[in-house]
A and B are shown apart, each in its own frame.
Chain A
């Protein structure tokens, strides 16, 4: 602790320069933490998506007949089927987008029983309330909604038969998500499909996609082939894939981006070595008389080396902490799933490891020079 005050005071000898170095290092760690954290959360989500199939139209943007539901359910290996239709919802203003899905909530929560938790009485309430809605806890918190509240949402897709696009709802349930929930659904607003189907002016009895829970993920390919063969050459052909494959295909672009960001972060860390090394070298050069004074009062060569290294370590660790804390803030505002996942502890450890390595590499040479400086020559610099 006695030495900490000495090291800390020396670190802030030139505050502007120190802040510049800290900000540079912190930004690199922020990038690093956000990227790696994103990958960890993504992989965790993907690993939970093997036991469900996603059945959509072979042709983009087209709807599928609701009648397919029964035929998909008859396919051997399929346990339960549900469906969803995107509503294109917003609250009060088009800028307040709300991810609303029209569905059969009972079967949907059955298919996603491992990801979403909702009390049974709230699920039952959807049956008795045609305009009922079950919303994610995060969404309810965002808009301050409570059970029993009446809210009206607009739809940017489904015009009603009366020509308007406003749909009144009553909040009858609030669901919680587990860590493996996919980000989109983790913050969703679920409405009764019948309510949408009866109200909308066009495309009755159609849905956007089906979700089929299967008994054995290893048998997925056979079931996929069976389903797609069943609707081949029909007016509405299907394209079936596992949810994992779907998400991975959607993430291909992001994965490429990851590669790019990985390269950028790597380059940033590498160039930061020079920034911190230059900062430390300049700082040590300016303080030669001060290091000489430390030696005159009895600090050994190793003691002076240790002080400079400690300074570099303190700078890098302090900056890494700032970067990681900002990253945690980014996760907190990025979405429910990311907030819950937080920054994995291995990432904290890895970051501190990198910060230590950076400190040793960048501070090593200046420290060695400080240790070897001549007291007589260095004191003479003040004359």
Chain B
């Protein structure tokens, strides 16, 4: 049986200045549906790169990437966009909400692509915000909210299309402990109660405690394209 997320011998390079850096080298990774996984490692270990590949934001040089039934390494740009719209919700460290739009409009963004009627979109947004305890902030602008509240809105945006996979890049990195615990508790609840598969990159051991599995990232090495390996850390 195929795993929900399966990366096989994945290699990823970046050009940094004049040098080609190999961030991932023949990496393997398997995550089953319903898991809440933390990718842990120091800065530069490649956890965000792995997350971007799993979330369909980045492509690989070599290897295969199978996520939620999609063979991402074979997809064109357009196919990746369409896959992201259907299968994945993304949460970032800095929330990335559009400041010129209300909370309702921000959460509704992914629904614009679904062809869902407006009234149904609004109901869906209200329902999701209700679940996250943010329904009272429907018409506020993101800038009027605290960091924790903004992150909850970002999570609502990730959830609004009901994707099977939630990908979070350092979701508590910009929050104080109290708000961080609240956000992590929310993610754990989504995993437990709604069966969402969640992959989270973090370097915070306390954040990792909320997950069902921790995958250390860091043994991966970066190397110059010539093949001369050097440590990423």
Contacts and interface: CB of A to CB of B under 8 A. Distances in A.
Nearest to A287: B98
Contacts of B52: 375-376
Interface string B43-82: 0000000001001011000000000000000000110011
Contacts of A379: 92, 96
Interface in A103-162: none
Interface stretch (A5-13, A213-221, A268-276): A5-13
Contacts of A382: 94, 96
Contacts of B30: none
Interface in B15-65: 52, 55, 57-58
B100 interface: yes
Contacts of B112: 2-3, 6
Given A1-B118, A301-B77, A294 B109 contact: yes
A382 B170 CA distance: 14
Given A2-B118, A2-B121, A376-B57, A298 B94 contact: no
Q: A interface, by DSSP: helix, strand, loop or mixed?
A: helix
Contacts of B101: 6, 9
B195 interface: no
Contacts of B105: 5-6, 9
A302 B82 CA distance: 12
Contact of A293 (B82, B98, B100, B121): B98
A298 B82 contact: yes
Contacts of B124: none
Interface residues on A, range: 20 to 34
Contacts of B92: 379
A297 B100 contact: no
Contacts of B157: 297
B214 interface: no
A96 interface: no
A300 interface: yes
B40 to A, nearest CB: 19
Contacts of A301: 77-78, 81
A289 interface: yes
B85 interface: yes
Given A295-B81, A300-B77, A375 B57 contact: yes
B90 A300 contact: no
Interface string B80-91: 011011100010
Contacts of B93: 383
Interface in A263-286: none
Contact of B113 (A293, A298, A376, A383): A298
A300 B57 contact: no
A299 B81 contact: yes
B131 to A, nearest CB: 19
B110 interface: yes
Q: Which of B84, B86, B157 has the most CB of A within 10 A?
A: B84
Contact of B110 (A297, A300, A302): A297
A110 B101 CA distance: 67
A292 to B, nearest CB: 8
Contact of B98 (A9, A12, A296): A9
Nearest to A304: B81
Contacts of A10: 98, 100
Interface string A7-34: 0011011000000000000000000000
A290 interface: yes
B98 A297 contact: no
B100 A298 contact: no
Nearest to B101: A9
B171 to A, nearest CB: 14
Nearest to A378: B96
A257 to B, nearest CB: 44
B109 A297 contact: yes
Given A6-B105, A9-B105, A298 B81 contact: yes
Contacts of A295: 81
Nearest to B93: A383
Contacts of A290: 96, 98
Given A299-B113, A383-B94, 9 more contacts: A290-B98, A294-B109, A298-B113, A302-B78, A375-B57, A375-B58, A376-B58, A379-B96, A383-B93
21 contacts: A3-B112, A6-B109, A12-B100, A13-B100, A296-B84, A296-B96, A297-B85, A297-B90, A297-B109, A297-B157, A298-B82, A298-B113, A300-B81, A301-B77, A302-B78, A303-B81, A375-B58, A376-B57, A379-B92, A382-B94, A383-B94
Interface of A: 1-3, 5-6, 9-10, 12-13, 289-290, 292-303, 375-376, 379, 382-383
The 7 A-B pairs with the shortest beta carbon distances in the complex, nearest first, are A298-B85, A297-B110, A300-B81, A9-B100, A293-B96, A382-B94, A13-B100
